[in-house]
Amino acid sequence: MKRLKKILSSSFFQGAVCGIVFTLCVLSVLRFFGIRILPAGNAATQAYTKNKYIEQCIDSYYQGDYTDEDLANGAAKGMVAALGDKYSAYYTQSEYDEVMKGIDGSYVGIGVTLKQLENGDIQVSELTEDGPAVKAGMKAGDIFKEVNGTDITGKTLNDVVSMIKVDDNDGKTVEIKVLRTNNDNQQETVTLQLVCKKINVVSVQDKQIGKTGYIKVTEFDNETDDQFSKAVDKYDNDEIKGLVIDLRDNGGGSLDSAINMLNRLLPKGDLITEKSKKEGDKTYHSDDKQSYQKSIVVLINGNSASASEVFAGTLKTRGAATLIGTKSFGKGIVQTVFSLKNACGGGIKLTTAKYYLPNGECIHKKGINPDETIEYEKKDTDTEKEDTQLQHALQIIEQ
């Protein structure tokens, strides 16, 4: 197995679980049908024997359709699920490929961010600059009606995303019919032909608000640290008083990316300590090649998790930032993704370590408390001025 990526994320795949009760029932059936049961040996031998007899029973008596791959994947998912850890998972090859795409920071698609409104409509919220959607004439606010001729009424956001998802093939065409409000405030239906291409995910957005640099980080992937560093560079000058870094609703991602981003901001010192079964204790350090000398405020909420908590918690502990918002999610464990390329494909994600902030605190299942708690629930119609957490952060920087 080849270890690929350390992941700090609040999301997970749920695998099929093969329960012990089910297994015991099958073994009793095998006895009734006269299949000889070998004497019990050590745990490994018992597990192997059990699996072989279950397989024999299925081969002999199961009347439905299945493949050997179905059985292998189900057994692997059940093995990992038996750990009782919702963050560990077995991935089939296709699932593994999707996971790695999310980490890599690029995908083949149409370059659009969608959201589902309260009435169920699927609406375009953001468009990737120079992406296929922009080139085809799609606009923010468009409502999806059909994808490749299929009516999407009643479908979930995930359903629609799956319908427009493509393999890694540039040039595939997707036809999307949208409902749009025109300049005369009249609704019209527009059919668009979009040619898919490779899209580099923009996980960092920034803008200047007064004398403050505002940086929104939506996830931590392999490109986030580079995008973040470039954004910080823009606001590291005499005209700017400080940074507001927005990690609200950021569920995490790559640990390496978070560490690199901290290294851009902090002088020499300890970052986090990772404690694992295989490697023992490993402390990450900032090297003082670059540091940000101005004020920093970080926005967090209950959906700020994992890598977001590494980032925000380390800045707080080091005395480098003020945290504003509500208590974070509370995920202080690290997952590592292993490739099973040499074992018939796919991969597994396992919880491999806990992390500790520079003060020795593990925030798992506890979360990080902000320096100032300000409640705010964003509505689709809210403007920047109505964002009470952001406005308070700007006041801190500007004072």
Domain end, chosen from 182, 200, 218, is at 200
CATH number at residue 142: 2.30.42.10
| 346: pLDDT strictly greater than 80 | yes
Greater pLDDT, 215 or 1: 215
Give domain status of residue 47, yes or no: yes
Residue 316's pLDDT band, with cuts at 50, 70 and 90, is very high
Give domain status of residue 97, yes or no: no
Strands 197-200 and 187-195: unpaired
Give domain status of residue 6, yes or no: no
Average model confidence (pLDDT) across the chain: 87
| Mean predicted confidence (pLDDT) in 364-369 | 97
Q: What residue type is assigned to position 296 of the chain?
A: I
Give domain status of residue 1, yes or no: no
Residues 227 and 317 in one domain: yes
The DSSP secondary-structure symbol of 220 reads: B
The pLDDT of residue 170 is 67
| 25: pLDDT strictly greater than 60 | no
Residue 308's pLDDT band, with cuts at 50, 70 and 90, is very high
Q: What is the largest CA-CA distance in the chain?
A: 84
Residues 184 and 271 in one domain: no
What pTM did the predictor assign?
Answer: 0.76
Q: What percent of the chain has pLDDT over 70?
A: 88
| Mean predicted confidence (pLDDT) in 10-33 | 35
Domain end, chosen from 200, 218, 244, is at 200
Mean pLDDT check: name the lowest of 70-74, 113-117, 366-370: 113-117
| 130: pLDDT strictly greater than 80 | yes
Question: Distance between CA 180 and CA 160 in Å, rounded?
Answer: 18
Residues 64 and 147 in one domain: no
Q: What is the pLDDT of residues 262-302, one digit of tens each?
A: 999 999 999 999 999 999 999 999 998 899 999 999 999 99
Residues 339 and 375 in one domain: yes
The pLDDT of residue 1 is 43
> Which region, left, alpha or beta, applies to residue 262 given φ > 0 means left and ψ of -120 to 50 means alpha?
alpha
Residues 279 and 340 in one domain: yes
Tokens of 234: 């823009």
Q: What is the pLDDT of residues 138-190, one digit of tens each?
A: 999 999 999 999 999 999 887 888 788 766 666 789 999 999 998 888 999 99
Place of tokens 């629930």: 377
The pLDDT of residue 358 is 98
The DSSP secondary-structure symbol of 159 reads: H
Give the count of beta carbons closer than 10 Å to the beta carbon of residue 34: 6
Residue 118's pLDDT band, with cuts at 50, 70 and 90, is confident
Residues 238 and 360 in one domain: yes
Greater pLDDT, 155 or 103: 155
Give the count of beta carbons closer than 10 Å to the beta carbon of residue 51: 15
The answer to whether residues 192 and 176 touch, using CB atoms and an 8 Å cutoff, is: yes
Residues 196 and 209 in one domain: no
Among 217, 286, 228, residue whose Cα is nearest residue 252: 217
CATH number at residue 351: 3.90.226.10
Residues 312 and 356 in one domain: yes
The pLDDT of residue 380 is 66
Q: How many structural domains compose the chain? A: 3
Burial of 67 per CB tally in 10 Å (0-12, 13-18, 19+): exposed
Question: Distance between CA 332 and CA 330 in Å, rounded?
Answer: 6
**Alpha-carbon distance values, 80 to 50, 85, 239, 268, 383 (Å):** 17, 8, 53, 40, 45
Give domain status of residue 101, yes or no: no
Domain end, chosen from 165, 184, 200, is at 200
Q: What percent of the chain has pLDDT over 90?
A: 66
| 10: pLDDT strictly greater than 60 | no
The pLDDT of residue 13 is 33
Positive or negative: CA dihedral 152, 154, 158, 159: negative
Residues 388 and 273 in one domain: yes
Q: What is the pLDDT of residues 245-267, one digit of tens each?
A: 999 999 999 999 999 999 999 99
| 230: pLDDT strictly greater than 90 | yes
Residues 209 and 343 in one domain: yes
Greater pLDDT, 106 or 384: 384
Place of tokens 């749009």: 180
Tokens of 197: 């291409």
| Mean predicted confidence (pLDDT) in 203-222 | 96
Range of the domain at 321: 204-398
Give domain status of residue 327, yes or no: yes
Sorted by sequence, the CB contacts under 8 Å of residue 214 that are 6+ apart come out as 206, 207, 208, 243, 244, 246, 390
The pLDDT of residue 62 is 95
Please provide residue 216's backbone torsions phi and psi, each rounded to the nearest 5 degrees: -100, 125
| Mean predicted confidence (pLDDT) in 339-343 | 85
Residues 214 and 339 in one domain: yes
The answer to whether residues 317 and 66 touch, using CB atoms and an 8 Å cutoff, is: no
Of 24-33, 177-186, 231-240, highest mean pLDDT: 231-240
Taking the C-alpha atoms of 224, 226, 229 and 233 in order, what is their torsion angle to the nearest 10 degrees? -130
Residues 224 and 282 in one domain: yes
Give domain status of residue 355, yes or no: yes
Give domain status of residue 89, yes or no: no
